[in-house]
């Protein structure tokens, strides 16, 4: 059994020729949300829901190519930040000197049919069988630490796995208590889920855990549709050449993320904007403070992406649908749907 | 546009088989609608004969387990070797070849999603049984759809496949003559010259638009198939026949509407309402130009040729339905996913625990894992005389835990006849949506049968999706006679399907109990009442939980008698609003 074999974050041939993020046509809301998560991982995950064949998976896999490399402790299965305190990590704790290297940010796919032992980690069967040792083999959550965990068809994932993932995503720590092992390791990741509401909807308490929720629809405008098909066709015929034509745009986009990250701590929110956020959440009746917090955080990240240091009402306006639409109390008899309700409230409150 | 004779359709099917065999992965796959029989066998033979020798073909039963589908631990090898040995799943084995799924209408959404993920990425990712692996799995999928009526394979899967071929009403004589005339096409020459496909793409997009193909996968696959056709014919440039043929094979079966007569394509119809406020990017200048050029082209333009070709491929029945402006056929397929899910959910393994295998199913893997760490120790304890590779003690034994889901499905059977129909329907619709909204946590499902005129109709197959429910309920017509017997039969059928899938059905019948159309659809009160009573007794015999909600302004004896015959609770609720209704149903459901 080769344990450190080819995963998605390694440099497999598919990785080199992933469809470029910047070549994605339209779907601005989805791209904006993913970029925000890349700038500020603490916004708490992105949920992409919508029609089939709208490039949900493509966009999320493409994001991996944009993320600037990160510094990680060599040999640490959790890819710890050398600047972070070592105590939290079972590998790094107690080590006096930690070498570090630049590695790609992990974007880990959670395949459907994954068993719980592979997600949280379990007893290392190899070592147990061969050496009679009791050792922990980290799971997908460990690999996703400091990166992204992507679940396609999140609504088809088994409930107990979803609960587990959300719990870990919220706490940033994976606690393993099984087979006589007792281990805690860091597992901070941005949860990205995608799905189609026709396959079944997500439980509301689950929806609320995602920071941003975006809806994608198949473009109806013929020029846009032609553009999508044309680019995809060009990509399929010669992936390498297609990616090469977008390499400049990709570099620019990556730079935008890097700069936005640097700028983020200095971005301030004027009191007037804070107040507008509060009024908007009040008008929509969103439960709890999570909506308001997300609204402020994402607006800051958006301002950072825009290259400014001040959040304006306009930033709030642009991000409000994605930050709030999944936090509204359901009213099934309201035909308009939550997106329209947010839009209405934005128009009234932020006028 | 005329329905093609059988031989022509067979020739098309053979052509599709040749394309599929030439490059299974590019075609993604085919949904073949046909019953098991000589016609289907003949087609499959054509397909496999064309495959290059040594191409793997794997049959995948629809109820396949993850260990076989995706791969996992090879237990026998692990036990004999004393170290974990991985075993490839069916998808990885089929790399470069075909996966054939018989009875594809029985595929569960979960299995469909696994297949779809492999089709999308060309790989199969395994995170099971102590393994992390990504193996190549570039295959073409052949879904053998034997579904009757509204049974169909999951749309998530069929939507990804390039072809949808219907051989259901072909006879052996149709296929005899055509076989010989099939042109021998071999592996395509993939070295295509770089050409400017802008016009081809625009043409196929316009055709897709005119036919109401919403998803972009339609035109995408059509472009890909057009290229494949050109390559198979040994040409490096796309030509008109390639586009026409691709449109015929790929876009025709996806059509959801007839093109607007005068101006196929743009502006003919208002764009569907958009869910999200999308700030449109300024459209690509070159695309714009292409579009306008296309519009000004003189007749008969390439667009018309391609569109006509696609229209020729629309199955006759669908064509008539489209021409009559009826609901798109593809929409009808929605809804089976939920029903299939129930069947797969009957007792889902949710892990393992220590226990006695006589009172549960032995979980070999968990048992092995429990035994694994102690092997070195035990071997030294028992001494060298122990020949077994792995020593398992009783305390290692684990059994699989199952979660038996008895999700309940509320089936509304709504009398949509007469003058009160609209109100009643509105109430039922509201109740359905309320119940769904409240049922998220419990993950219960809702179905709706409406009866009016001469027959009953399953308006909303069991679902828990609010989106789908809303779509199904919008524009439900009312008025006409009261075929009560047909309504009861239809509700009983749905209830039976739910029970077969391991769920608990609760039937809610909204009617005033006065039947006036019998089972055969003939008006006449006495006969109709008799039939209704018979249907009610049959219903009772099956023992489904039910409530009858009397919607008449004054409680009716006929309704009360019917409730008695059905073994249903009787609930006069003349001014029922959606909220009262859903509260009553919930109370009944808990009692059931």
Taking only the tens of pLDDT, chain A with its 351 residues reads 343 333 333 334 344 578 899 999 888 899 999 999 999 988 888 999 887 777 888 888 888 888 888 888 888 888 888 887 777 788 887 777 778 888 888 888 888 778 777 888 887 777 776 776 778 888 899 999 989 999 888 877 777 777 788 888 888 888 887 666 788 888 889 989 888 877 766 766 677 778 899 988 888 888 898 999 889 888 888 888 999 999 999 999 999 999 999 999 999 999 999 999 988 988 888 766 888 889 999 999 999 999 999 999 999 999 999 988 888 765 544 555 678 888 888 888 877
* Domain annotation covers residue B270: no
Same domain, A41 and A178: yes
Residue B249 CB-density burial (10 A; 0-12 exposed, 13-18 middle, 19+ buried): buried
Query: Poorest-confidence range of A121-135, B340-354, B408-422, B459-473?
Result: B340-354
Average pLDDT across chain B, whole number: 73
Q: What's the domain count of chain A?
A: 2
Does residue A226 sit at the B interface (CB-CB below 8 Å)? yes
Please indicate whether residue B359 or residue B99 has the higher confidence score (pLDDT).
B99
Is 90 exceeded by the pLDDT of residue B257?
no
**For the CA atoms of chain A, what is the radius of gyration?**
21
Range of the structural domain that residue B364 is part of: 353-402
- Rounded CA gap, A29 and A22, in Å? 14
- The crossing angle, in degrees rounded to 10, of helices B6-22 and B38-50 is 30
From B446's Cα to the closest Cα of chain A, the distance in A is 12
Same domain, B108 and B26: yes
Characterize the bridge pairing of strands B348-354 and B398-403.
antiparallel
Residue A286's CATH number: 1.10.8.80
Same domain, B52 and B108: yes
* pLDDT, position A237: 84
Same domain, B475 and B584: yes
Same domain, B201 and B138: no
Range of the structural domain that residue A24 is part of: 13-69+104-216
Q: How far is CA A196 from the centre of its chain?
A: 17
Residue B21's CATH number: 3.40.50.300
* Domain annotation covers residue B442: yes
Is 70 exceeded by the pLDDT of residue B299?
no
Contacts of A137 in chain B (CB under 8 A): 130
For residue A279, what is the enclosing H or E element?
A: helix A271-284
Q: Which positions ≥6 away from B325 have C-beta within 8 Å?
A: none
- Rounded CA gap, A179 and A135, in Å? 10
* Domain annotation covers residue B487: yes
* Domain annotation covers residue A5: no
Same domain, B440 and B556: yes
* pLDDT, position B195: 55
* Domain annotation covers residue A261: no
* Domain annotation covers residue A160: yes
Contact B127 A114 (CB under 8 A): yes
Percent of chain B at pLDDT above 90? 6
- Rounded CA gap, A262 and A303, in Å? 12
Q: Which of A118, A290, A317, A330 is catalytic?
A: A290
Nearest 5°: CA angle at B73, between A1 and A155?
A: 105
* Domain annotation covers residue A154: yes
Domain boundary among A152, A185, A216: A216
- b (16+ CB within 10 A) / e for A116-143: bbbbbbbbbbbbbbeebeeebbbbbbbb
- Rounded CA gap, A106 and A143, in Å? 7
Same domain, A56 and A139: yes
Same domain, B232 and B305: yes
Same domain, B527 and B387: no
Same domain, B459 and B579: yes
What is the full DSSP assignment across A89-124? -TTTTT-S---EEEEPPPEEE--TT--HHHHHEEE-
Q: Could you say which residues from 209 to 248 on chain B have a Cβ atom under 8 Å away from some Cβ of chain A?
A: 209, 214-217, 219-220, 223-224, 227
Characterize the bridge pairing of strands B131-136 and B123-128.
antiparallel
The ipTM of this complex is 0.78
Same domain, B467 and B516: yes
What pLDDT, in 10s, does the model give residues B302-342?
A: 677 777 776 666 655 555 554 444 433 333 333 333 333 33
* Domain annotation covers residue A7: no
Does residue A163 sit at the B interface (CB-CB below 8 Å)? no
Same domain, A23 and A118: yes
Contact B350 A51 (CB under 8 A): no
Please indicate whether residue B37 or residue A264 has the higher confidence score (pLDDT).
A264
Contact A52 B156 (CB under 8 A): yes
* pLDDT, position B393: 76
* pLDDT, position B263: 41
Q: Work out the pLDDT band at B447, boundaries 50, 70, 90.
A: confident
Same domain, B468 and B382: no
Q: What's the domain count of chain B?
A: 4
Give the predicted TM-score (pTM) of the model: 0.70
Does residue B44 sit at the A interface (CB-CB below 8 Å)? no
Substitution target from B276, B293, B371, B577 for chain A, most A beta carbons within 10 A: B276
Contacts of B203 in chain A (CB under 8 A): none
Same domain, A55 and A146: yes
A15 catalytic? Reply is no
Same domain, B206 and B151: no
Residue A50's CATH number: 3.40.50.300
* Domain annotation covers residue B396: yes
* pLDDT, position B149: 61
* Domain annotation covers residue B277: no
* pLDDT, position A168: 87
What pLDDT, in 10s, does the model give residues B360-408?
A: 677 887 788 777 767 766 776 666 555 667 778 777 777 776 655 557 7
Query: Poorest-confidence range of A86-100, B189-203, B556-570?
Result: B189-203
Does residue A114 sit at the B interface (CB-CB below 8 Å)? yes
Contact B130 A28 (CB under 8 A): no
Same domain, B116 and B165: yes
- From A200, which residue of chain B is nearest by alpha-carbon distance? B465
Please indicate whether residue B95 or residue A287 has the higher confidence score (pLDDT).
B95
Contacts of B124 in chain A (CB under 8 A): 111
* pLDDT, position A285: 81
Same domain, A32 and A131: yes
What pLDDT, in 10s, does the model give residues B503-524?
A: 778 888 888 788 888 887 788 8
* pLDDT, position B53: 82
- From B226, which residue of chain A is nearest by alpha-carbon distance? A233
Domain boundary among B386, B402, B418: B402
Same domain, A174 and A311: no
Tokens representing residue A239 in the block: 């992936």
* Domain annotation covers residue A237: no
């Amino acid at each position: 059994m080769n344990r450190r074999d080819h995963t998605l974050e390694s440099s497999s041939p598919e990785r080199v020729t992933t469809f470029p993020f910047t070549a994605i046509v339209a779907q601005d809301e989805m791209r904006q949300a993913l970029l925000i998560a890349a700038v500020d991982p603490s916004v708490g995950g992105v949920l992409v829901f919508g029609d089939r064949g709208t490039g949900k998976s493509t966009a999320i896999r493409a994001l991996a190519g944009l993320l600037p490399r990160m510094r990680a402790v060599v040999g640490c299965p959790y890819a710890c930040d050398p600047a972070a305190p070592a105590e939290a990590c079972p590998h790094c704790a107690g080590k006096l000197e930690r070498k570090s290297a630049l590695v790609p940010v992990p974007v880990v796919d959670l395949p459907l049919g994954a068993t719980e032992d592979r997600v949280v980690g379990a007893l290392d069967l190899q070592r147990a069988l061969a050496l009679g040792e009791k050792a922990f083999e980290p799971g997908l959550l460990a690999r996703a630490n400091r990166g992204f965990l992507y679940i396609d068809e999140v609504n088809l994932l088994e409930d107990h796995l979803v609960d587990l993932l959300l719990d870990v995503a919220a706490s940033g720590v994976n606690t393993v208590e099984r087979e006589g092992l007792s281990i805690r390791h860091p597992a901070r990741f941005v949860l990205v889920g995608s799905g189609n509401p026709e396959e079944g909807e997500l439980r509301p308490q689950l929806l609320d855990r995602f920071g941003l929720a975006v809806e994608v629809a198949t473009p109806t405008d013929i020029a846009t549709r032609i553009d999508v098909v044309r680019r995809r066709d060009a990509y399929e015929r010669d992936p390498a050449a297609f990616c090469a034509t977008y390499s400049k745009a990709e570099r620019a986009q990556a730079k935008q993320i890097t700069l936005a990250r640097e700028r983020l701590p200095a971005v301030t929110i004027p009191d007037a904007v804070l107040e507008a956020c509060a009024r908007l959440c009040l008008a929509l009746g969103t439960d709890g403070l999570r909506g308001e917090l997300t609204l402020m955080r994402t607006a800051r990240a958006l301002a950072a992406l825009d290259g400014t240091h001040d959040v304006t009402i306009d930033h709030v306006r642009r991000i409000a649908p994605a930050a709030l639409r999944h936090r509204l109390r359901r009213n099934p008899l309201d035909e308009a749907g939550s997106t329209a309700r947010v839009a209405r409230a934005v128009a009234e409150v932020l006028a | 546009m005329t329905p093609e004779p059988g031989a022509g359709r067979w020739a098309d099917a053979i052509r599709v088989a040749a394309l599929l065999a030439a490059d299974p992965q590019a075609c993604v796959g085919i949904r073949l609608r046909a019953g098991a029989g000589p016609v289907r066998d003949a087609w499959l033979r054509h397909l496999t004969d064309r495959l290059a020798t040594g191409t793997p073909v794997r049959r995948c039963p629809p109820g396949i387990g993850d260990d076989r589908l995706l791969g996992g631990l090879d237990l026998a090898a692990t036990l004999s070797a004393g170290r974990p040995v991985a075993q490839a799943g069916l998808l990885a084995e089929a790399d470069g070849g075909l996966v054939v799924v018989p009875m594809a209408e029985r595929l569960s959404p979960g299995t469909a999603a696994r297949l779809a993920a492999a089709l999308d990425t060309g790989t199969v990712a395994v995170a099971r049984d102590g393994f992390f692996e990504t193996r190549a799995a570039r295959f073409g999928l052949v879904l053998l759809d034997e579904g009757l009526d509204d049974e169909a394979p999951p749309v998530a899967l069929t939507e990804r496949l390039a072809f949808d071929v219907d051989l259901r009403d072909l006879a052996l004589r149709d296929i005899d003559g055509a076989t010989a005339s099939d042109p021998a096409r071999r592996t395509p020459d993939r070295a295509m010259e770089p050409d400017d496909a802008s016009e081809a793409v625009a043409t196929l997009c316009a055709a897709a638009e005119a036919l109401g193909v919403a998803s972009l996968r339609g035109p995408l696959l059509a472009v890909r198939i057009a290229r494949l056709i050109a390559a198979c014919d040994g040409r490096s440039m796309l030509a008109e026949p390639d586009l026409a043929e691709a449109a015929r094979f790929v876009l025709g079966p996806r059509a959801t509407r007839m093109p607007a007569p005068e101006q196929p394509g743009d502006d003919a119809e208002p764009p569907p309402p958009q869910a999200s406020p999308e700030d449109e990017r300024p459209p690509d200048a070159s695309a714009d130009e292409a579009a306008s050029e296309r519009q000004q082209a003189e007749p008969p333009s390439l667009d018309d040729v391609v569109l006509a070709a696609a229209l020729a491929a629309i199955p006759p029945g669908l064509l008539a339905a489209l021409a009559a402006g009826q609901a798109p056929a593809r929409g009808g397929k929605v809804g089976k996913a939920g029903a299939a899910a129930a069947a797969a959910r009957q007792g889902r393994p949710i892990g393992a625990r220590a226990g006695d295998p006589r009172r549960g199913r032995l979980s070999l893997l968990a048992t092995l894992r429990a035994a694994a760490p102690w092997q070195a120790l035990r071997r030294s304890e028992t001494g060298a005389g122990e020949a077994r590779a792995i020593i398992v003690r009783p305390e290692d034994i684990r059994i699989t835990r199952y979660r038996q889901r008895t999700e309940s499905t509320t089936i509304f059977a709504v009398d949509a006849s007469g003058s009160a129909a609209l109100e009643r329907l509105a109430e039922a619709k509201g109740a359905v949506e309320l119940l769904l909204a409240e049922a998220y946590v419990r993950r219960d499902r809702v179905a709706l049968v409406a009866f009016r005129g001469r027959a009953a109709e399953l308006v909303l197959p069991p679902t828990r999706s609010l989106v789908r429910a809303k779509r199904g309920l919008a524009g439900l017509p009312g008025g006409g006679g009261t075929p009560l017997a047909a309504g009861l039969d239809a509700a009983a059928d749905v209830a039976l399907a739910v029970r077969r899938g391991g769920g608990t059905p609760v039937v809610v019948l909204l009617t005033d109990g006065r039947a006036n159309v019998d089972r055969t659809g003939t008006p006449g009160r006495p006969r109709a009442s008799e039939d209704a009573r018979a249907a009610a007794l049959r219903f009772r015999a099956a023992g489904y939980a039910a409530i009858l909600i009397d919607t008449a302004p004054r409680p009716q004896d006929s309704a009360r008698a019917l409730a008695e015959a059905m073994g249903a609770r009787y609930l006069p609720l003349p001014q029922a609003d959606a909220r009262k209704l859903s509260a009553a149903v919930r109370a009944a459901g808990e009692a059931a």
